[in-house]
Each structure stands twice: as C-alpha cells, then as structure tokens.
C-alpha cells in the first residue's frame, strides 16, 4: 500500500525537522506517521478532578491541584537561583519551584490569587514539591473548555532535554490526528466489528489519544487490544492448521525391545506427570500427523527421561532419534547419563560435539547416514551440513530458548522424512505467553517433581557476610556435601566477568586451601580437556567446590551438591536465578541457595531477590517476572524468533481477550482456512500487512 498516508516519514509532519525526527526515531523508534499514531499514552489524567495537597504521596503521578498562592520568593544564587511559590488549598501547603523563566513567573504569579496547577510531584528534602508545573489562574482556566482527559506519553531524558515534552508530543499527535482524519483504512470487516461490538479503527485511533470521556477511552482500548491480539492469533492458528493438513508424520506404533528394556530397568518409577506426558507424546507419534510439542517442566522434573522414552519409540520402529543440547557440558552429561538406562546391544548411541575428533566425527557421520547409529546426542554440531540422517523420526531439543530459530530450523532438513519434534524447556512460560509464542505448538507440562525432593532454602547475603557464607560452606562440606559457586557471565562485559571469576577462584582457594579442600573451576575460556577434567572432578565427587560461570545454568546433575552460592545475584534475571538454584536440591539432603549481592540494590533487584527467597515455584516466578518486566523482555522470548511487539495489549492482564481472539481465529479459519471468502478479504489483507512479511512459523517450532 505505497502512498498510504501512514507510511509517510515523520519529517512530513509540520513542526518535525530532521533533528526532532532523529530524536524520535532513536528514543521511541518513531519513523513514520503510523509509528507516531500507534504510540499511545501509557497513562491518562482526568483533569476534571482536583487532588487535595494532603492526598499527595509517593505514588502520585500527574495530578491537578487547585489553590491560592501564599507567597512568592527567590532562593539560592547564581545558577542555583530559583523561584519558589507556596500554594495552599486548605488541606496543606506545597512548594512550586521554577529554575527557568523566573522573571516571567514572578510577574504571572499573584499572591492571594487562585490557580490550577498540573504536574507530577517530586520529593526534595523529604518533602513533596512541583518542579515547573503547568499553572494557570482559575479565572482563565475556567474559560477554556478543552478535553478533561489528557494522555501522558512515555518519555526519556533525551527527549525532554531535546525539547520534546509531553505537551509538545501531544501537539504533534494533535497535528497528526488532523492530517490523517478521514484517511484511516479499516482493518476489520464490518460483520466482525458488529459481532464483537468493536468501534471503527479510525475512531479508536482518535479517541485513544484524545478521549472525549472515559467510556470512549475504554471503547478505543478494547478495539485496539482486540485487533492486536486477534491478528497475532490469526497468524499462529493459520500456521497450525497448515501444519496439521500438510504435516503427515511417521507412525511410531511399535513398542519393542529398546523401549521395554529401559522401562523394566528403571531405578525409579516414573512420576504421574512423566507418564501423562509420555501418553500425550505417544498419541501424537501414532496419529499419522507430525508432532510439534513443547514440553515444559521445572528444573529437575525429569524431562530427560521423557526425551529418552520418546527416542526409544522411534528406534523400536526402525528409525533414528537425536537430542540436541545447548552446551557441550550438557550434551556430555546427557550422553553419559542416558547410557546407564539403555541396552547397548539394541541401541547404538553416539556423542557429537564441536570437540569430537576428526576421525571419530567421520565415523559418526557415516553411522548416521547409513542408520547404524540409532541415537545421537550433541550440540550445534548436529546441525552442520555434513550431518545427514538415514531416517530421523524424532528430534528432541533441550532448553530450546538457547537456540536461535534458524539453528532449530536446520535440524528439520537432515532427513528425507519429517521428524517429530519435541522441544523441552525448564524456563516456565506462563500460559498466556505460551499461547502466543507457541500458538502453533501443543504444550505438555510436567507439574510434579520426583518424590523425596526437599524444598531449597533460599537466603540473601550481602558482601559483608561472605565469611559467614564460607563458614556455612565448610559445615556442609564437612558433612560430605558439595558446593557450587557461580559468577555472572554477561556478554557485554565478558572481560570483566572473567576477571571476577578469576578473583573469585583465588578467594575460594584461599579460604578453602588444598589438601583439605579440592576446588574445580569451569568456564568458557578453558580448553575442552581442562573443562572436562574439572567437570569430572566435581561430578565424581572428588572436588568439594565447583567455581564456574553460569555455564552450569542448564542441566548439570550432581545430586550430592547441596549448596548453590550465586555471586552478584542482582545481575541475573529471575528465570536464570531459578535455573541456577535448580542445580541443587536433587538429592535427598536439605539444600540451600545463597544469593550474594552488593550493598546498593535497585528496588527492582531487591524485589527479584525477595521473590526468589519466598518461593521455589518456577511458574509463580515466571508470572511475576512477566508482570515486573513485561513480555517483550521475558527471558527466552527474545531469542524465540517471535518479536512480540505489542502496542496496547498486555499478555498477562488481557488473557480473556487473548483467549477470545484465539477462539475466534480458530472459528474463522476452520470455516475458511485460506481466507478466500469475500467476507474475510480484509482479514487476509491485514494478516500479511501487520506482519510485514509472513513469518514461516513451521520453521520455528
């Protein structure tokens, strides 16, 4: 739709020159008229309401007061000179402070006269004040009968200092509204608007910025939210339907020796949840359709067993299976761990990673190509071009959030037949988000831990309590337990992080000297040999302490480890902290997670740490995470390949709308799968439009 007015660059808006345009793009991502139009207020102020000064507290946002000026005076000197007016309203007094335009304000503000003041209170010297509020005499304000509800747009410091205040931003919106009036093309069919009781797009886009009243605002929001979530679901459901139609899958009906051997040699009974999920998978792989299933389960819930039994079903039917893990450490651990459970006479298993030696690598390539290897466990090395399978029927991807979309996609092209896909994650994804992110996948959940697990006690310790933490570690080690000590590894400051890790390692070996204590160390900069050596020291129980970066975050299983010490815990996200904590509490012993932080914590960090200390439930944490940070930032989703860039809908709060939108999308598509009917013409057009390009969801899984 070239030439459509909304596609115009923002510089075409009167009052927006190149400098402003640059600022708008950099700070708010606004490049076109559409971008500006779709930048909605994040809050509204009802200017028909006046607050009492006594009502003001730390939560007050933009508010309006009405009161008389008691005094006007100058304070400070030189650059710090400011004008202070004291306003009283019968419930109290508050200072209005002006650093600029002092002369002008001095003339404007008359002692004894009544004014209307609008602004956001701030705190200075333990008292509230207003810095540069909007202020107008009541006499004058009364004569202006403008809208009473005004929008507040999000801003940044750079915008403010660049002269784009809320007032001037609102002006820009006002100008834009005038220009685009009458040109907005409707994106939902008339019958749809009627059925869902939604207002037209044009009106919604006007009222969201300039609502005549609260009711109109609600209507505008409903319309825009519904549209946003509906098109998202329409895209996802459409893809799901296409997959169901096209994706004929290998039937893995037979349960044979491979499966039965492992089942009868298990050292423990499967949990109810494991059994249930295995049944769901079994139904999929015997249905004749291709399975695309996401398996969620908290750390330690036993997902690996589910992966193994799924793989064994493929093998019993004469096919191959693979399990792809995000790190070398984890792949090796899977490989070693799973060997205990399988019959080597029936199942030929191989390990393929970046460190597999050339000769062995060639043998594995050959074995995969001719089908003599039944099960391969590996890292990214599995998706290299050279890898071809004879008949891959099942691909398991562990900790899927660690893989990029294209990396996953390449697994599918490894074999003549289309493999069933099982994606596993220990990062719990709240239901509403899962529905959006993985709307085209089926979801299974392991919601039960193996019996005998003791809850992990989580505590917060400041740097100054380090000696106490060490004392506690000594006690646990004396009782025969092992300890993880983790340092953050965050890309941007990698170098510094390694320095921290090295310093930390020295501190630990100082406090825990040989030969009484053995400390292993694992990080990404080691040679594979050294890494494997140290890892083995710890896994075999020879080392008491493992110092590492967050590489151990995923998977590593050492049941004898009972203490997890996380340094600079404030630098980790909730999901990551929970993953790390899940490394302990796997044995029968009581386990501990100690979150160490610096002295100064932001409120957000403090909230995160407190939350970690208060619950062990991964789903509860995930919900809280989603609420605290918003879905755009949700860990794991950034790499999921789906940018969910929602303007107005909120995946947590709007889940009823989301569910209705999904049902509606399903109804429409099951009647008209390709949206060919005339009544769905607009839907078809805008489905492409909204996404810009049609994302190939089949490649995402």
> Which two three-digit tokens encode residue 204?
């919604």
- Intra-chain end-to-end CA distance of the chain, in Å: 31
- β-strand 43-46 against 375-378: which pairing, if any? unpaired
User: What is the distance between the alpha carbons of residues 71 and 517, in angstroms, rounded to a whole number?
Assistant: 72
- State the DSSP H helix or E strand holding residue 320, giving kind and residue range, or none if neither: strand 320-324
Among ligand ADP, Mg ion, none, what does residue 271 contact (CB within 5–8 Å per kind)? ligand ADP
Considering only residues 20 to 49 of the shown chain, the ones binding Mg ion according to CB under 5 A are none
Q: Minimum CB separation from ligand ADP for residue 406, in Å?
A: 25
Nearer to ligand ADP, 130 or 484 (CB): 484
Nearer to Mg ion, 28 or 552 (CB): 552
Q: 545 φ, ψ to 5°?
A: -130, 140
User: What is the distance between the alpha carbons of residues 546 and 539, in angstroms, rounded to a whole number?
Assistant: 9
Q: Minimum CB separation from ligand ADP for residue 691, in Å?
A: 34
Indicate whether 305 belongs to the interface with ligand ADP (CB under 6 A): yes
Nearer to ligand ADP, 216 or 429 (CB): 429
- State the DSSP H helix or E strand holding residue 262, giving kind and residue range, or none if neither: helix 257-264
Among ligand ADP, Mg ion, none, what does residue 686 contact (CB within 5–8 Å per kind)? none
> Which residues sit opposite 72 in a β-bridge?
85
Nearer to Mg ion, 285 or 329 (CB): 329
**Torsional sign, CA 300, 301, 305, 307:** negative
Would you say 294 and 423 are in contact if contact means Cβ atoms under 8 Å apart? yes
Binding footprint of ligand ADP, residue count (CB under 6 A): 16
Among Mg ion, ligand ADP, none, what does residue 121 contact (CB within 5–8 Å per kind)? none
Nearer to Mg ion, 555 or 618 (CB): 555
Would you say 25 and 82 are in contact if contact means Cβ atoms under 8 Å apart? no
> Which residue among 83, 109, 208, 299 contacts ligand ADP (CB under 6 A)?
299
Q: Minimum CB separation from ligand ADP for residue 625, in Å?
A: 19
Indicate whether 271 belongs to the interface with ligand ADP (CB under 6 A): yes
Q: Minimum CB separation from ligand ADP for residue 560, in Å?
A: 11
Q: 689 φ, ψ to 5°?
A: -60, -50
> Which two three-digit tokens encode residue 64?
């309006």
Indicate whether 300 belongs to the interface with ligand ADP (CB under 6 A): yes
User: What is the distance between the alpha carbons of residues 639 and 623, in angstroms, rounded to a whole number?
Assistant: 19
Among ligand ADP, Mg ion, none, what does residue 268 contact (CB within 5–8 Å per kind)? ligand ADP
Q: 337 φ, ψ to 5°?
A: -65, -45
Q: Minimum CB separation from ligand ADP for residue 336, in Å?
A: 12
Nearer to Mg ion, 232 or 330 (CB): 330
Candidates 70-78, 184-192, 372-380, 547-555 — which segment interacts with Mg ion by CB under 5 A? 547-555
Written in H, E and C, the secondary structure of 72-133 is EEEECCHHHCEEEEEEECCCCEEEEEECCCHHHHHHHCCCCCEEEEEECCEEECCEEEEECC
Nearer to ligand ADP, 176 or 424 (CB): 424
Q: Minimum CB separation from Mg ion for residue 337, in Å?
A: 10
User: What is the distance between the alpha carbons of residues 327 and 353, in angstroms, rounded to a whole number?
Assistant: 9
> Which residue among 150, 166, 292, 304 contacts ligand ADP (CB under 6 A)?
304
Would you say 10 and 24 are in contact if contact means Cβ atoms under 8 Å apart? yes
- Among candidates 296, 246, 629, 286, which has minimal Cα distance to 435? 296
Residue entry with tokens 């889940």: 655
Among Mg ion, ligand ADP, none, what does residue 469 contact (CB within 5–8 Å per kind)? none
Q: Minimum CB separation from ligand ADP for residue 310, in Å?
A: 13
Q: 658 φ, ψ to 5°?
A: -60, -45
Among Mg ion, ligand ADP, none, what does residue 274 contact (CB within 5–8 Å per kind)? ligand ADP
Strand order in the sheet with 134-137: 122-124, 127-131, 93-98, 82-88, 63-75, 114-119, 134-137
Q: Minimum CB separation from ligand ADP for residue 387, in Å?
A: 24
> Which residues sit opposite 521 in a β-bridge?
547
Q: Minimum CB separation from Mg ion for residue 481, in Å?
A: 22
CB atoms within 10 A of CB 597: 20
> Which residue among 95, 557, 617, 685 contacts ligand ADP (CB under 6 A)?
557
Q: Own/partner pairs for 525-531, CB < 8 Å, 24+ apart?
A: 525/498, 528/328, 528/355, 531/328, 531/329
Considering only residues 168 to 187 of the shown chain, the ones binding ligand ADP according to CB under 6 A are none
- State the DSSP H helix or E strand holding residue 275, giving kind and residue range, or none if neither: helix 272-285
> Which residue among 133, 367, 504, 555 contacts Mg ion (CB under 5 A)?
555
User: What is the distance between the alpha carbons of residues 36 and 29, in angstroms, rounded to a whole number?
Assistant: 9
> Which two three-digit tokens encode residue 56?
């003001």
Candidates 46-54, 67-75, 188-196, 266-274 — which segment interacts with ligand ADP by CB under 6 A? 266-274
Among Mg ion, ligand ADP, none, what does residue 104 contact (CB within 5–8 Å per kind)? none
Residue nearest to Mg ion (CB): 555
Among Mg ion, ligand ADP, none, what does residue 136 contact (CB within 5–8 Å per kind)? none
CB atoms within 10 A of CB 640: 18
Indicate whether 252 belongs to the interface with ligand ADP (CB under 6 A): no
Q: Minimum CB separation from Mg ion for residue 331, in Å?
A: 11
Indicate whether 270 belongs to the interface with ligand ADP (CB under 6 A): yes
Nearer to ligand ADP, 233 or 427 (CB): 427
Indicate whether 617 belongs to the interface with ligand ADP (CB under 6 A): no
Candidates 133-141, 265-273, 436-444, 644-652 — which segment interacts with ligand ADP by CB under 6 A? 265-273
Q: Minimum CB separation from ligand ADP for residue 422, in Å?
A: 13
Nearer to ligand ADP, 523 or 586 (CB): 586
Among ligand ADP, Mg ion, none, what does residue 263 contact (CB within 5–8 Å per kind)? none
Indicate whether 596 belongs to the interface with ligand ADP (CB under 6 A): no
Which parts of this chain interact with ligand ADP (CB under 6 A)?
A: 268, 270-271, 274, 297, 299-305, 426, 450, 557, 586
Which parts of this chain interact with Mg ion (CB under 5 A)?
A: 555
């Amino acid at each position: 739709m070239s030439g459509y007015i909304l596609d115009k660059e923002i510089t075409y808006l009167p009052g927006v020159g190149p400098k402003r345009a640059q600022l708008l793009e950099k700070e708010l991502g606004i490049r076109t008229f559409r971008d500006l139009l779709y930048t909605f207020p994040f809050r509204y102020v009802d200017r028909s309401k006046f607050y009492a000064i006594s009502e003001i507290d730390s939560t007050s946002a933009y508010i309006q007061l009405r009161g008389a000026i008691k005094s006007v005076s100058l304070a400070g000197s030189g650059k710090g000179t400011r004008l202070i007016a004291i306003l009283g309203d019968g419930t109290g007094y508050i200072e209005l402070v002006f650093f600029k335009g002092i002369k002008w304000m001095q003339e404007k503000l008359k002692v004894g006269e009544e004014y209307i003041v609008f602004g956001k209170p701030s705190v200075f010297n333990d008292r509230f004040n207003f810095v540069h509020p909007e202020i107008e005499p009541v006499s004058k304000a009364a004569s202006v009968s403008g809208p009473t509800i005004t929008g507040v747009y999000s801003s940044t410091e750079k915008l403010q200092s660049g002269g784009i205040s809320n007032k001037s931003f609102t002006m820009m919106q006002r100008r834009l509204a005038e220009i685009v009036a009458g040109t907005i093309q409707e994106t939902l069919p008339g019958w749809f608007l009627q059925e869902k009781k939604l207002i037209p797009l044009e009106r919604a886009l006007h009222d969201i910025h300039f609502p005549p009243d609260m009711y109109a605002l609600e209507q505008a929001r409903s319309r825009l939210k519904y549209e946003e979530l509906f098109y998202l679901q329409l895209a996802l459901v459409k893809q799901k339907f296409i997959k169901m139609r096209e994706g004929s899958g290998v039937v893995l009906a037979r349960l044979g020796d491979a499966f039965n051997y492992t089942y009868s040699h298990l050292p423990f009974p499967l949990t109810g949840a494991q059994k249930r999920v295995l049944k769901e998978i079994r139904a999929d792989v015997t249905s004749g359709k291709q399975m695309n299933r996401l398996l969620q389960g908290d750390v330690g819930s036993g997902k690996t067993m589910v992966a193994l039994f799924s793989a064994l079903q493929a093998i019993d039917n004469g096919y191959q299976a693979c399990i792809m893990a995000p790190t070398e450490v984890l792949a090796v651990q899977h490989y070693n761990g799973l060997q205990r459970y399988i019959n080597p006479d029936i199942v030929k298993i191989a390990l393929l990673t970046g460190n597999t030696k050339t000769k062995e690598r060639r043998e594995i390539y050959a074995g995969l190509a001719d089908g003599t290897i039944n099960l391969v466990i590996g890292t990214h090395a599995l998706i290299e071009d050279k890898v071809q399978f004879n008949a891959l029927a099942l691909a398991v991807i562990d900790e899927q959030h660690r893989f990029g979309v294209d990396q996953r996609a390449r697994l599918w092209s490894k074999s003549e037949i289309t493999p069933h896909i099982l994606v596993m994650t220990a990062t719990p994804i709240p239901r509403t988000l899962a529905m959006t992110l993985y709307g085209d996948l089926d979801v299974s959940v392991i919601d039960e831990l193996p019996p005998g697990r003791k809850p992990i006690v989580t505590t917060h310790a400041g740097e100054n309590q380090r000696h106490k933490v060490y004392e506690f570690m000594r006690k646990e080690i004396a009782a025969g337990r092992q300890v993880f000590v983790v340092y953050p590894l965050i890309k941007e400051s990698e170098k510094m992080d390694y320095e921290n890790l090295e310093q930390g390692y020295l501190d630990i070996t100082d406090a825990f000297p040989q030969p009484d204590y053995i400390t292993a160390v694992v990080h990404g900069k080691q040679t594979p040999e050294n890494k494997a050596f140290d890892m083995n020291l710890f896994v075999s129980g020879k080392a008491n302490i493992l110092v590492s970066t967050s590489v151990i975050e995923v998977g590593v299983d050492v049941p004898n480890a009972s203490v997890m010490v996380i340094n600079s815990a404030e630098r980790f996200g909730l999901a990551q902290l929970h993953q790390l904590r899940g490394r302990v509490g796997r044995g029968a012993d009581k386990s501990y997670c100690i979150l160490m932080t610096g002295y100064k914590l932001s409120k957000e960090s403090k909230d995160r740490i407190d939350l970690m200390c208060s619950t062990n439930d991964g789903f509860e944490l995930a919900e809280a995470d989603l609420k605290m940070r918003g879905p755009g930032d949700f860990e794991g989703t950034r790499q999921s390949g789906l940018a969910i860039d929602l303007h107005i809908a909120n995946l947590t709060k709007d889940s009823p709308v989301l569910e209705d939108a999904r049902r509606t999308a399903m109804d429409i598509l099951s009647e008209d799968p390709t949206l060919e009917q005339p009544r769905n013409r607009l839907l078809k057009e805008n489905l492409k439009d909204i996404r810009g390009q049609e994302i190939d969801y089949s490649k995402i899984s």
